[in-house]
Chains A and B, each alone.
Chain A
Amino acid sequence: MIDEAKVKDLEAKAKQIRRDIMVQLVGAGGGHPGPSLSIVEICTALYFSHAKLDPKNPTWEDRDRIVLGKAHACETIYACLARRGYFSPEILPTYKHFGSILQGHADAWATVGLEYSGGSLGQGLGFALGLALAARIKTPYNVMRQAPDYKYRIFCICGDGETMEGDIWEAAMSASSYKLPNLINIVDYNQFSASMATSSGGQSVDLEPIVEKWRAFGWWVTEVDGHNIRQLLETLQMADNIPTKPKCIIAHTVKGKGIPYFEQTHVHMPDVSKELYDKVIDTVY
């Protein structure tokens, strides 16, 4: 059972993360508020509860690995890393500044705590697959259970628009062929890609039936309200108990969630001035 006090605490953290996203956006003059805001609860659940991490030891061999496939939503991850103790939150306003450890798209070489250098979409899941296969090689094999005694998990966060990329499905086929139980993919189903709804008919591709697609590729699939922290935690715990399949959690989210201005405008990569910051910073909910 998940403690109500813990859920309340995580919800408060999520609100702080949203404020931290705004601090980065105004510091850089713009960014990706829509896609970053939609994964706040997912990241809060991972970084502050479900994932096994040690900020003082970022390369700890038994840490859970978190791969941000949708690397443009790095604002959320940077905020989580800062609040989790990987680096000081005072660095957040330097987002995208030349020489900053916070690059415009998540770059592992720049930021402590990141696993993957991204930017172009669809490639994080294959990378996460590689991490999962490495765990299979490195982890001692339990003869009684006929499987390695995995000590850590690999989480990948994909955008729904990102799952239009072919590379995603190559990785999906491979992961289920290998029956990897240590790989969990979370799809941020916010119904939008950069410029259009993911169900735009002739303008883009229709992702539905999205659950059936992942199931057909051999994954254990479930759906969840991506902004309900209790549901996310329960689902992640449930996923841990599925033995011989990779897991896909389709998280129903809202692009721009948590700041009404961005929820209403669906804009992908707007300029963010001091005026806009002042206007929206206290509307975070």
Chain B
Amino acid sequence: MVKYVRDGAWRESSEEFFKKIGFAGPARYYTRQLMNQTLLKLAKADPRICFVSAEGSPPESYEAAGIHRYRVMGFGIAEANTVLAASGLAKEGLIPVYSTMSWLLGRSYNNIFQSICTDNLNVKFLMSARGWAGGGGSHHEINDIAFMRCIPQILIMAPADTVELVKMITAGLKYHGATFIRIFGQPVPNLFEEDYPFQMGKAFTIRKGNDVTIISFGTELWRSLVASDILAKEGVEARVINMNTIKPIDEDAIIKAAEETGAIVTAEDHSVIGGLGEAVAHVLVKNQPVPMDMVGVRDRYSQSTYDKQGGWAILEKAYNLTADDIVAASQKTINRKKTKNIK
């Protein structure tokens, strides 16, 4: 087992995990609580940090934590203006944090492109996937990486569990430049120990193996570990890599994995177009082309489901994001590797 990874954590159900830590609510509230705790702690230590929102928490809740109300600014249901104001705040040396859902950034895309990333304005976008499940297709982030990746001077990261979430937010707020952190909205098991050495821009291998490499992030990472358990029963040892930074991507880790394992699978809660898969393919094709397959939403719109109906279990099956999909993709690439069937 790899150091810093909690062996077998992905076999534990989220109910067991929450019972253990003494938390009673749904997973996404736990994530949000943790996020807010982290942000308040950082904001108390650094007076440049301020908060912008389109209909977010009122200043009173921040004042209770010692953050002056001028540092908490709401802009009503006006996401474009919220981002514009954040860019002005960043120009003045402040560090505005905008917690939102990534599909809303489409409304501000023009400004993110022509101003925020152009001038390396220090705006922090914490995008939580709260919309997945009940929200329906309009609320599901399946193409946000695609429309962000192609902007120069942008930093895009995604944590795989709550330990990585806290470290990523802390590192992201220290970094100077437009920062996008894509945060899960569904229950994820805790994969990492508290002393996990998270590093921005550096992939982390969480399982050793040489038959195939599964490169993943966020909510697909623990599913990749479940998949690798299934593959291990068939005698296939998968390397699993946490690509927590999608841009700039860790090219060396990808090339090394291709050289040493000869078969790559990517897995992401995102369209197969424009996301992690294509980012990895870009590196492989230029440097070390090997059989490759991508697990992700297959360029389709998604639909609603709700927690009591089965929530994530329904969505992951409907949109090909299950551990079984990762297993199938792995087997396919290994066969191509074996038969050298690279058409």
Residues on A lying within 8 angstroms of B by beta carbon are 107-109, 115-120, 123, 125-138, 166-167, 170-171, 173-174, 177-178
In the complex, the answer to whether B111 meets A134 with C-beta atoms within 8 Å is: no
- Residues of B near A131 (CB, < 8 A) are 88-89, 91-92
Contact of B87 among A130, A135, A138 (CB under 8 A): A130
Say if the beta carbon of B327 comes within 8 Å of chain A.
Answer: no
If A136-B70, A137-B70 touch, whether A170 touches B91 (CB-CB below 8 Å) is no
Q: How many residues of chain B have a CB within 8 Å of chain A?
A: 29
- Residues of A near B96 (CB, < 8 A) are 130
Instruction: Please name the residue on chain B nearest to A131 by beta carbon.
Output: B88
Q: Closest CB of chain A to B94's CB: distance in Å?
A: 5
In the complex, the answer to whether A130 meets B119 with C-beta atoms within 8 Å is: no
If A136-B70, A137-B50, A137-B70 touch, whether A127 touches B87 (CB-CB below 8 Å) is yes
- Residues of B near A115 (CB, < 8 A) are 91
If A117-B115, A127-B115, A137-B50 touch, whether A171 touches B92 (CB-CB below 8 Å) is no
- Residues of B near A174 (CB, < 8 A) are 75-76, 78, 81, 85
Residues on B lying within 8 angstroms of A by beta carbon are 50, 68, 70-71, 73, 75-76, 78, 80-81, 83-94, 96, 110-111, 114-115, 118-119
Question: Knowing that A109-B118, A120-B111, A173-B78 are A-B contacts, what are 13 other residue pairs whose CB atoms are under 8 Å apart, sorted by A's residue number?
Answer: A108-B91, A116-B91, A127-B87, A129-B88, A130-B84, A132-B88, A133-B88, A134-B91, A134-B92, A167-B84, A171-B85, A174-B78, A178-B73
Contact of B89 among A118, A133, A171 (CB under 8 A): A133
Give 13 CB contacts A-B under 8 Å: A109-B118, A119-B114, A120-B110, A123-B111, A130-B85, A130-B86, A132-B88, A133-B88, A133-B89, A137-B94, A166-B80, A167-B81, A170-B78
If A109-B119, A134-B88 touch, whether A126 touches B94 (CB-CB below 8 Å) is no
In the complex, the answer to whether A107 meets B88 with C-beta atoms within 8 Å is: no
Q: Closest CB of chain B to A154's CB: distance in Å?
A: 8
Q: Is the interface of B mostly helix, strand, loop or mixed?
A: helix
In the complex, the answer to whether B110 meets A129 with C-beta atoms within 8 Å is: no
Instruction: Please name the residue on chain A nearest to B92 by beta carbon.
Output: A134
Q: Closest CB of chain A to B104's CB: distance in Å?
A: 13
Q: Closest CB of chain B to A19's CB: distance in Å?
A: 30
In the complex, the answer to whether B118 meets A126 with C-beta atoms within 8 Å is: no
In the complex, the answer to whether A138 meets B114 with C-beta atoms within 8 Å is: no
C-alpha spacing A123/B85, complex, angstroms = 9
If A115-B91, A133-B89 touch, whether A126 touches B81 (CB-CB below 8 Å) is yes
In the complex, the answer to whether A117 meets B114 with C-beta atoms within 8 Å is: yes
Q: Closest CB of chain B to A157's CB: distance in Å?
A: 15
In the complex, the answer to whether B84 meets A127 with C-beta atoms within 8 Å is: yes
If A170-B80, A173-B76 touch, whether A117 touches B119 (CB-CB below 8 Å) is yes
